[in-house]
Amino acid sequence: MSSANRIDAAFARLKEKKQKAFIPYIGAGVPGALQTVEMALLLEKQGADILELGYPFSDPMADGLVNQAAATRALENGVDDKAYLGMVQAIRAKSQIPIVVFTYLNPIFRLGMAEFARRAKEAGVDGFLIVDLPVEESAEFQEVCRKLDLRLIFLAAPTTTPARLQRLLREASGFLYYISRTGITGEQTGFQKDFESKLSEVVKAAVASSLPVVVGFGISTPEQVRAVCALCDGAVVGSALVRRTLEDKPWPEMRAEIEALAQRLIAPTKEVLS
**Catalytic residue list:** 52, 63
Beta strands in 55-175 (DSSP E): 99-103, 127-130, 151-156
In whole angstroms, give the CA distance from residue 121 to residue 148.
7
Nearest of 110, 97, 114 to residue 26 by alpha carbon: 97
* 190 CB neighbour count, 10 Å cutoff: 12
Nearest of 161, 24, 152 to residue 97 by alpha carbon: 24
Contacts of 106 (CB under 8 A, 6+ apart): 57, 59
Nearest of 183, 177, 185, 178 to residue 239 by alpha carbon: 185
Nearest of 151, 75, 147, 69 to residue 115 by alpha carbon: 147
In whole angstroms, give the CA distance from residue 75 to residue 239.
18
Burial of 59 (0-12, 13-18, 19+ CB in 10 A): exposed
